[in-house]
Each structure stands twice: as C-alpha cells, then as structure tokens.
Chains A and B, each alone.
Chain A
Amino acid sequence: MARVVVDVMLKPEILDPQGQAVQRALPRLGFDGISDVRQGKRFELEVDGPVDEAALARIHDLAESFLANTVIEDFTVRVESDDVVAEAVK
C-alpha cells in the first residue's frame, strides 16, 4: 500500500478568517509568540499498485482540477514513505 498526500493551502494573499480566529484564541490558551496561523486541507490518498511517475502525474492532475481550486489555492503532492504508512496502520 502506498500513500500519497496532497496538501492544499489558500494562497498567501487570500484572507483566511478561520486561521485568524484560531490565532486569536492562542493567547487565551497560554500559547504566546505565534504571530500568524493559516488553515489548510490535507488529503491522504491510498493508492493501489506502485506510485510511479505516471500515477503521480495523474494525482497531480486530480489535485489541480478538483482537490484544489488554483484560483485561490496552492497545493503540493508528495509520497509518504512506507515506514510512516506502516506506523500509521499499526
């Protein structure tokens, strides 16, 4: 089993009111020294078969056309190492 992780974040110039609300709550909870919080989305895709270049290219297309709206969001695609996946499955 292979896992591919797609992280989606609002572009830096886009206002993130949810992140701001989280940031404003931090001092109340005793967390100081955090000047900004931005909230994003993480997708974990369990891929059947090998994660080769072709599979990654297809996932990239999927992220670009569906998981992220590139008008407002940036995304990254990465393969999670087998060790991390095995640890998580345990």
Chain B
Amino acid sequence: MTARIGVVTFPGSLDDRDTQRAIRLAGAEPVVLWHKDKDLKQVDAVVLPGGFSYGDYLRAGAIARFSPVMGALIEQAKAGLPVLGICNGFQLLTEAHLLPGAMLGNDHLHFICRDQKLRVENAETAWTSDYTVGQEISIPLKNMDGRYVADEYTLDKLEAEGQVAFRYLVRGEAAEGYGNPNGSLRDIAGITNEAGNVVGLMPHPEHATESLIGTGRTDGLPFFTSILKKLVTA
C-alpha cells in the first residue's frame, strides 16, 4: 500500500487539483480533505495548497488558520505529521505559528508570476531529501504576499539551525528568473521547523512536475518523491 497524502481545499484554494496530480505522479495516493473536516482521515502527510483562501481578507491565511481542519492539523503537525505549505499554505503555516515569521505584501506592490531560480539549503527535511544541498532549481512563483519577514533574532536562529530550506538565487538576469522577487529578508523562499516535518515555501513545486508543461523541467517533483520515500520506508 502506498502512502496517503491529504490535500486540504479551503474556500479560495486554487492549486489543490494540481497538488493532487503531483502526488499521484510521484506514486502516492492523494486524499481530498475539506476545510470543514474535523479529522484528517488518517493520512500520512498533508499538503496545504496555494490560492487565496477567504480572499486573503484580514491577512493571507489568517481566516483559514481557524478552519475546523486546522485544529487537528496543528495538533498532529506538532506531534510529527509531515506538512508542506505551498504559497497560501506557507502563509497559513506562519499564521498558525507552525513556522516562525510572517508573510507580507511584495515590496514592489505588484502580483508576480514567473519561473524562479532557487537554491536548496536543507536536504534533510521530510520534503526535501531527494534534493542535494546547493542544488539550483527553477519552479514557478506566483503571489501577491510573498515577502517573508521575521525579527533579527529569529532570522539568525533559522540560519544557525539550518531551518532556511530554500533561498532565492539573486545573482543573474531577472528575465531568467534570478533575483529576490518580493523583498523577503535574507532572500528566504522557504523554511522548515526544527523537527523538519513542517516545510513552507512561496514557489510552487506542484506546477513543475511534468516536462510537458510549466518550466519544461520537473524540478518540483522531488518534494513529492521525498515524502513518499520517507513514508514508505518508515
């Protein structure tokens, strides 16, 4: 039996279907979860997908954070359940304080949509073990509120503990996907919690899992093969 990975749909989620597809492509079984579910249907891991839950009202992820499904998710994530938050899912994880820091509007005040170059900084989390540290990848980025902020103490701690999982590659041509796209402090694109089971990032690995579409590369697929390997060998 393969691993069962839940994907939560909130009112305003956009990328739940693509995420389910990416999970299937990696060889796992996607399980549909609804924001009103009070339990997680005994899944082995959960992905919080991208989109604009509750229209980003108040703050991105702030209202979805109090959905019924989040009660069980927060409790189980603290106990070790692997959780990946992509874009709006990342915003949601910071609002739920499962990851430190917060997300704010892009510093240039525009929506951004492009293929983004990233460097893998931590290949030991539940979701990144099929990457190598220092590997440079290109996956789509599309958001309005992608600016990662935290106080200096938290940023220093993230760096010292290896909790910066992905960084934007800033040296190169903007047209080729280089540069800090949103003013994120220290070029942070994604982070992990101390235990390595909860990971959040702004770019969208689920949109880079088939060579036919998107970037024409499958640089996002290792997220889903990493977690599958971890769950199947566990």
Residues of chain A at the chain B interface (Cβ within 8 Å):
10, 13-15, 17-18, 21, 66-67, 69, 71-72
Given contacts A14-B149, A66-B62, A66-B66, contact A72 B102 (CB under 8 A): yes
User: How many whole Å from A65's CB to the nearest CB in chain B?
Assistant: 9
**CA of A71 to CA of B101 in the docked complex: distance in angstroms?**
6
A17 to B150, CA, bound (A): 17
Q: A15 to B107, Cβ gap below 8 A?
A: yes
Which B residues are within 8 Å of any A CB, using their own CB? 58-59, 62, 66, 94-95, 100-102, 104-109, 147, 149-151, 183
Inter-chain contact B105/A69, CB cutoff 8 Å:
no
- Taken together as a complex, chains A and B put the C-alpha atoms of A14 and B183 apart, in Å, by 12
State A71–B108 Cα separation when bound (angstroms).
21
On chain B, the residues within 8 Å of A71 by CB distance are 94, 100-102, 149-150
Across the A-B interface, the 6 shortest Cβ-Cβ residue pairs: A71-B102, A72-B102, A17-B107, A17-B109, A69-B102, A69-B59
B101 contacts across to A, CB distance below 8 A: 71
A10's nearest neighbour on chain B, judged by CB, is: B104
- Tell me the minimal C-beta distance from B216 to chain A in angstroms: 33
